[in-house]
Amino acid sequence: MRVLIVDDEPAIRKTTGLAVEAMGHEVVAAPNGLRALKELEAGACEACFLDRKLGAEDGLDVLGKLLKAQPSLAVVMVTAFANISTAVEAMRRGAFDFIPKPFTPEQIRQVLDKVARNHRLERRVEQLESQLTEESP
């Protein structure tokens, strides 16, 4: 998978990127929403780790922009300021999942496995729908 990491902290981008690459995925990174959108324009991604606080930007606002640019993107919100209301709001706005900082490589692996399973299921549904359309009189 091609995975976008959006975080204003260079160390977080680097360590998360190293963990994702060690799992065999391609990584692109951005320090803010604008750069993240440019990365999506350069090539589609299957998953995105998006920080809740990006300096002056609100990650929840960036979430909407990313999903508008690529509706199929599985956005995982990450934050050091985790609470139930923030998680609920992120999911309400279209986030695929939500994990608190600090997170472990195992948490990254689990969420990426979940994204991959979800993409496989979506492709299978599309195949079955296509077969039904072809078989219908």
Tens of pLDDT, residue by residue, the chain (137 residues): 999 999 999 999 999 999 999 999 999 999 999 999 999 999 999 999 999 999 899 999 999 999 999 999 999 999 887 788 888 889 999 999 999 989 999 999 999 999 999 989 988 998 888 888 888 76
Strand locations in the chain, DSSP E?
Answer: 2-6, 26-30, 47-51, 53-54, 57-58, 74-79, 97-100
Q: Which two tokens stand for residue 59?
A: 């990650």
Beta-carbon contacts of 16 under 8 Å, excluding residues fewer than 6 positions away, are 5, 7, 49, 108
Beta bridge partners of 97: 76
